[in-house]
Amino acid sequence: MQRAAPQEFDRVLSSMCTRPHPAARKAAERFFATNPGDPATYQAVAALEEDALSYLGEITGLSAPHGYVTSGGTEANIQAIRAARNHARDGDPNVVAPESIHFSFQKAADVLDVELRIVPVDDGYRANVAAVREAVDDHTVLVAGVAGTTEFGRVDPIPELTAVAHDAGALMHVDAAWGGFILPFTDHEWSFAHAPVDSMTIDPHKYGQAVVPAGGLLFRDKSVVDSLAVDTPYLESASQASLTGTRSGAGVASAAAAMRELWPDGYRDVYERQQANADWLYDELRARGYDAVEPELPLVAASVPDGQFESLRDLGWRISRTASGELRIVCMPHVSRESLRAFLSDLDDLRSG
């Protein structure tokens, strides 16, 4: 029987998954068969989830965080919208978000039957605050901004968006699914410490180097997360706020282990190395005459002709394109300078061939 090779990351350049930290891998193995959704039975993993939550709070500037370890950014975003909708108890709810938002928002709007109002971004790929202000109304339950966009690694003006949300009587959500473990080491204003943000997505299974699945959802106010809870009559714990029932103990334990190991110095080192890689790659691509988007975070987008893109994929490079067609290279922790050099060397061969 043909068996699939284990995941090899050497040529993976456009994914937001990465090689888990060894401590995360080890912790995951120990908790494979546990369920944090039943904390009264699986008490050890429930305690680790508390640890994970306090690390996430520390990273995002929230001293008493409410929330839980989700299956990923999609569940976190769905739940943030659900919480805002339930909290508002409005008849005809809408959510306002920039067009740079991740496609999980479309799923959320569909599942929750909430109107999603998408507004344009500015020339720098950031949410246009004036357009957001135009779009909100009395039925807006949530305004969302992205801190580290999926396509261009941009950070929306979170303090300004938060002011617009609160003026409209809505809650403010920040999607830092990808950027959350990078932004603490930058000057960006993105966190609970920079603005009275109400909820945030931050995923340990992306830049946090935990195993999949481990997302993160945080709330400032307990009453908002409580609006997600349903009664669990036959369990020893009284209620459950998560979307899924049984959850991955491996994901939770690995998230706690990765953050214990890496916060803050390990994450800072990775950020510095990968930002340098992204800046270097940007310069190299520009030197070859490609139009590229300056990397604000470790993510480079560049216009590469379709033929070259396809040939690179045929050579085994795992790369993808933005909606507008740019090649995107996400400098995740596993992406080495050596691998980027090999990539450019293949690109050079294609150009001269």
- Kindly state whether residue 118 participates in binding ligand 0PR, applying the rule CB under 6 A: no
CB nearer to ligand 0PR: give 121 or 350.
Answer: 121
Least distance from C-beta 233 to ligand 0PR, angstroms? 30
Cα(252)–Cα(51) distance, rounded to whole angstroms? Answer: 10
Closer residue to ligand 0PR (CB): 47 or 323:
323
- Single out the residue of 15, 86, 186, 232 in contact with ligand 0PR (rule: CB under 6 A): 15
User: How far apart (Å, rounded) are the C-alpha atoms in residues 307 and 285?
Assistant: 16
Report phi then psi at 133, rounded to 5: -60, -40
17 scored as a contact of ligand 0PR (CB under 6 A): yes
Q: Which is nearer to ligand 0PR, 76 or 168 (CB)?
A: 76
Vertex 317: Cα angle to 216 and 299 (nearest 5): 45
Q: Which is nearer to ligand 0PR, 326 or 350 (CB)?
A: 326
If the CB atoms of residues 155 and 285 are measured against ligand 0PR, the closer one turns out to be: 155
> What φ, ψ does residue 285 adopt, rounded to 5°?
-70, -40
The enclosing H or E element of 235 equals: none
- Judged by CB under 6 A, the residue of 16, 163, 235, 344 near ligand 0PR is 16
The residue among 213, 200, 176, 244 whose CA lies nearest residue 84 is 200
Q: Does 215 bind ligand 0PR (CB under 6 A)?
A: yes
| Residue 93 sits in the site that holds ligand 0PR (CB under 6 A) | no
Q: Is 72 in the site for ligand 0PR (CB under 6 A)?
A: yes
Which residue's CB is nearer to ligand 0PR, number 62 or number 243?
243
149-188: contacts with ligand 0PR (CB under 6 A):
150, 175, 177-178
The DSSP result for 282-328, as a single string, is: HHHHHHTT--EE--SSSEEEE---HHHHHHHHHTT-B-EE-TTS-EE
Q: What's the closest the beta carbon of residue 69 comes to ligand 0PR, in angstroms? A: 12
CA distances for 145 relative to 128, 160, 174, 201, 284, angstroms: 10, 10, 5, 11, 31
What's the closest the beta carbon of residue 152 comes to ligand 0PR, in angstroms? 11
* DSSP-derived secondary structure letter, 17: -
| Cα(279)–Cα(265) distance, integer angstroms | 21
Q: Which of 18, 60, 79, 104 binds ligand 0PR (CB under 6 A)?
A: 104
The footprint of ligand 0PR on residues 278-317 (CB under 6 A) is none
* DSSP H helical ranges for 63-128: 73-88, 104-112
- For 185-206, the DSSP string reads GSS---STTTS---EEE--TTT
Query: Taking the complex as a whole, how short is the minimal distance between the CB of residue 178 and ligand 0PR, in angstroms?
Result: 5
Distance CA 214, CA 10 (A): 22
Q: Which stretch binds ligand 0PR (CB under 6 A): 11-19, 252-260, 298-306, 333-341?
A: 11-19
Which of 73, 208, 251, 298 is close enough to bind ligand 0PR by CB under 6 A? Answer: 73
For residues 151 and 121, the answer to whether their CB atoms sit within 8 Å is no
Candidates 46-54, 71-79, 109-117, 341-349: pick the segment binding ligand 0PR (CB under 6 A). 71-79
Exactly one of 38, 156, 198, 203 binds ligand 0PR (CB under 6 A); which one?
203
Interface residues with ligand 0PR (CB under 6 A)? 15-17, 72-74, 77, 102, 104, 146, 150, 175, 177-178, 203, 215
